[in-house]
Amino acid sequence: MEQANLINKGSAFLYEKLDPRTLFTPENFTDEHKMIGSAARQFIEKEVVPYKEEIENQNFERVTQLLRKAGDMGLLGHSIPEKFGGLGLDKISKGIVGEMVGPSGGYGVAHSNHTCIATLPITYFGTLKQKEKYLPKLASGEWVGAYCLTEPNAGSDALAAQTTAFLNDKATHYVLNGTKIYITNAVFSDTFIVYAKVDGVHFTAFIVERNTPGLSLGPEEIKMGIKGSSTRSVILEDCQVPAENLLGEVGKGHVIALNVLNLGRFNLGSACVGASKAGLKKALQFVQERKQFGREIAQFPATKGKVAVMAARLYAAESLQYRTAGLLEDSLGDLYDSGDLKLIGRRMSEYSIECAVCKVFGSETLDFVADEALQLHGGAGFIKEYGIEQMYRDSRINRIFEGTNEINRLLIPTTLIKKVLKGEIDLGMHVEKALSELSGGINEAEGYFDQEKAAVNVMRNLFLLNAGLAWDAYGQSLVQEQEILMNLADLAIQLYAAESAVYRTSNAIQQNGTDKEELKINLTRTYLETAVWETERLSRKLLANLTSGEEQERLLTLTIQHCSRFQHFSHSIQPNRSIADQLYQSNQFVC
C-alpha cells in the first residue's frame, strides 16, 4: 500500500472536510480491542497499584518484576510481530494499552517508554538478525529498553548531537564517545538505542547492550515527579559497539529518531487520556463524599461547571486520540514485514502533524484536569494521602517529553509549509476557497447537529485564511516567525480536537439517535464553546499582525460575524449541570 492509497492524507484536516465514514472512534472498538483494554486495566489495578508506594520510592527491582509480568501477559509485545514473540496488534490496541497504563505514574512511563521508542526502532528499522536477537526478549520483558537521544547541548535541537562513532581499523566495532542525559529506564535497561555521528558527521542509530565495554551510568536524577521511572545519564567512553549493531543506515539516524518520536507523541497522548480519566474519577468520588454548608460539594453549580468542562475537554482528547490511532493503522498496519526503510520512513512521517496534536492537546488536557481535580479537593489535594498531588507532579513532564509542546507546535505549520513547497498541497487554492466561503454570506445550517459541523468548517476556513496571509507576508521566511507559527498551530489544534469530537458525536447520533447520545452532544457543545471563542481570539491576534487598514477591518468583521453565529454554544449552564449529574451516576468518565 503506497501513500497515495491512504484513506486520509496526513494534515488533510487543515484544508478538507472530513468524511465521517473514515473516522475511527472508541465506539468502533472490536471485541479484541476491549479484551486487550480489560487485560491492561486489570494488570494495572491488581499488579501495579498495590505496589504504588514501593514504585514511588524507587524500588526499581519491583518495576522490572512488573515489566516481566506485563511481558508474560503480552502487554509489552502489542507492537512486535508474532514471529518475533509479540502479538502484532494494530495501532488502536497500542493506544488502548497506552491509555490503561497512563494513570500508573512512574511505572507507566517505564512501560510506555519500553514498548514505544525503545523497541520500535528495532521493530521497523532493524535487520532480520537484529529483530531475531532482540525483539523476543523485549516482548517478554526479559530485557528492558531505553532510548538515548538527548545530550547536554542537544535537547530540542537533537541533530546537534556531539556523540561520535568511529569504525575501528578492523571494521569490527564502532567506538562511541559522548554523554546522553535524562534517559528513562537507564538503571534497569538491557538495550539502549543510541544516536551518534559516524566520523563526527553522519547522524546514525546504534543498538548498544548494557554490558558493552565503555558504557556506564551517571547517578539517579532527583525528579519532581514520575519518581518510579529511572532517569540517569548514559556515558560512553570508547564504547565498543559491534558493527552489526548499527541500526538502519549510516547518516539516516534522523529518519529513525524523528519518525519513532511521532509514535512516541501519539503514545504519550494515549497515556495522558488515561491519566486524565483517572484524575476526573478521583474528583468525582471526592466531591460526592465531601460535605460543606450542609450538602455534598458535588451539588454546588460551580462544582458541576468545573466537572463538565474537564469532561468536555477529555472527550475531545479521547476523540482525536483514537481518530489518530485509526490513521496510523491505515498507514503502518502492513509494514511489520517491510524491509523498505524509505517507505517505512515516509509512512511513519505521514501523520506527524496529527501525532504532534495528540501530544500537545493530551498533555495540556491532563495538566488542566489534574489542576482542577486538585482544586476540587481543596486542602486535601495538597496532601499525599489523597493521590492528587502525585498526579499533579507526574503530569508536568508530559509537556516536555517527546519534544516540548513548543517544538511540537512549531512542527505543525512548518510541516505544512514543507508540503506546500514540495507541491503536495495547493495552499493558494484552499485559501481562495476558504475566503470565498467566509465572504459569501451566512447560510444557516438546518439539520440537527449541522450547526456544530458548520462551526468546524468556520474554524478550518479561519485557519486557512490566516495561513494564507502569513504565507503572503513572509513566504519561506515564515519558518522564522515563531509567534505567528505558534498561533497558527493553536488554530490547527483547536480544529482537530473540535472536528474529532463533532463527527464522533454525529456518527453516534446516526447510529443510536439523539436521546441515547445526550451526554456526547452536551460534551461536544461545551467543548465547542471554548474552541470557537479561542479560534476567534487567535484569528483576531493574527489579523492584527498580518494585515492593516481596510483589509484588516474587512477580515476582522468576517471573523467576528462567523464566530458570533455560534453564540448559542455559550448557553451551557444547564447542559453542564446535566453532564455533571450523569457523571455522578457513573462516578467515572463514561459516554
Q: What does the alpha-carbon distance between residue 59 and residue 2 come to, in Å, rounded to a whole number?
A: 47
For 13-48, the pLDDT digits (tens) are 999 999 999 999 999 999 999 999 999 999 999 999
With 0-12 / 13-18 / 19 or more C-beta atoms within 10 angstroms meaning exposed / middle / buried, residue 568 is exposed
- Grid coordinates belonging to 97: 494499552
Could you say which of 192, 217, 247 is where a domain stops?
A: 247
Q: 277 and 363 share a domain? A: yes
Q: What is the band of 440 on the pLDDT scale with cuts at 50, 70, 90? A: confident
Cβ–Cβ under 8 Å, residues 319 and 501? yes
Asked whether residue 418 is assigned to any structural domain, the reply reads: no
Could you say which of 213, 229, 247 is where a domain stops?
A: 247
Q: Alpha helices of 148-252 — where are they, by DSSP H?
A: none
For 136-183, the pLDDT digits (tens) are 999 999 999 999 999 999 999 988 999 999 999 999 999 999 999 999
Q: Is the pLDDT of residue 279 over 90?
A: yes
CA-to-CA dists, residue 416 to 42, 351, 411, 485, angstroms: 41, 11, 8, 11
Residue 281 is which amino acid? K
Mean pLDDT of the chain: 96
Residues 6 or more apart whose Cβ sits within 8 Å of residue 412: 353, 356, 357, 485, 488, 489, 492, 493
Residue 231 is which amino acid? T
CA-to-CA dists, residue 522 to 163, 279, 303, 564, 573, angstroms: 53, 21, 17, 19, 11
What confidence score (pLDDT) does residue 306 get? 99
What confidence score (pLDDT) does residue 445 get? 64
For 93-140, the pLDDT digits (tens) are 999 999 999 999 999 999 999 999 999 999 999 999 999 999 999 999
Residue 195 is which amino acid? Y
pTM: 0.97
Q: 302 and 383 share a domain? A: yes
Percent of the chain with pLDDT over 90: 94
Q: How many CB atoms lie within 10 A of CB 585?
A: 10
For 192-209, the pLDDT digits (tens) are 999 999 999 999 999 999
For 213-238, the pLDDT digits (tens) are 999 999 999 999 999 999 999 999 99
Q: Which residues lie across from 191 on neighbouring strands?
A: 145, 209
What confidence score (pLDDT) does residue 2 get? 44
Asked whether residue 492 is assigned to any structural domain, the reply reads: yes
Q: What is the band of 3 on the pLDDT scale with cuts at 50, 70, 90? A: very low
Q: What does the alpha-carbon distance between residue 213 and residue 215 come to, in Å, rounded to a whole number?
A: 6
Q: What does the alpha-carbon distance between residue 256 and residue 372 come to, in Å, rounded to a whole number?
A: 38
Q: 157 and 70 share a domain? A: no
Q: How many CB atoms lie within 10 A of CB 432?
A: 13
Q: 185 and 315 share a domain? A: no
What confidence score (pLDDT) does residue 5 get? 61
What confidence score (pLDDT) does residue 441 get? 72
How does DSSP classify residue 185? Answer: T
Host H or E run for residue 199: none
Q: 262 and 337 share a domain? A: yes
Q: 436 and 496 share a domain? A: yes
What confidence score (pLDDT) does residue 399 get? 98
- Of 66, 70, 63, nearest to 39 by C-alpha is 70
Q: 11 and 72 share a domain? A: yes
Q: 167 and 274 share a domain? A: no
- Assign residue 311 the CATH number of its domain: 1.20.140.10
Residues 6 or more apart whose Cβ sits within 8 Å of residue 122: 130, 131, 134, 135, 138, 193, 207, 247
Residues 6 or more apart whose Cβ sits within 8 Å of residue 502: 449, 452, 453, 455, 456, 524, 528
What are φ and ψ of residue 530, in 5° steps? -70, -45
The 3-state DSSP class for residue 316 equals helix
Percent of the chain with pLDDT over 70: 98
- Of 260, 259, 272, 187, nearest to 230 by C-alpha is 187
For 401-421, the pLDDT digits (tens) are 999 999 999 999 999 999 999
Cβ–Cβ under 8 Å, residues 358 and 327? no
Check 354, 402, 517, 536 and give the catalytic one: 402
Residue 302 is which amino acid? A
Asked whether residue 535 is assigned to any structural domain, the reply reads: yes
- Assign residue 82 the CATH number of its domain: 1.10.540.10
Could you say which of 196, 229, 247 is where a domain stops?
A: 247
Q: 95 and 182 share a domain? A: no
Asked whether residue 353 is assigned to any structural domain, the reply reads: yes
What range does the domain containing 65 cover? 3-144
CA-to-CA dists, residue 229 to 7, 63, 111, 112, 516, angstroms: 38, 8, 9, 11, 42
Q: What is the band of 4 on the pLDDT scale with cuts at 50, 70, 90? A: very low
- Of 430, 409, 500, nearest to 15 by C-alpha is 430
Q: What does the alpha-carbon distance between residue 538 and residue 54 come to, in Å, rounded to a whole number?
A: 46
Q: 83 and 183 share a domain? A: no
Q: Is the pLDDT of residue 538 over 90?
A: yes
Query: Is there a catalytic annotation at residue 56?
Result: no
Q: What does the alpha-carbon distance between residue 20 and residue 23 come to, in Å, rounded to a whole number?
A: 5
What confidence score (pLDDT) does residue 444 get? 66
Work out the widest C-alpha separation in the chain, in whole angstroms.
Answer: 81
Asked whether residue 417 is assigned to any structural domain, the reply reads: no
**Candidate ranges 5-19, 316-330, 335-349; pick with highest mean pLDDT:** 316-330
Number of domains forming the structure of the chain: 4
Q: 232 and 351 share a domain? A: no
What confidence score (pLDDT) does residue 400 get? 97
Q: 90 and 217 share a domain? A: no
Asked whether residue 366 is assigned to any structural domain, the reply reads: yes
- Assign residue 189 the CATH number of its domain: 2.40.110.10
Asked whether residue 416 is assigned to any structural domain, the reply reads: no
Asked whether residue 410 is assigned to any structural domain, the reply reads: no
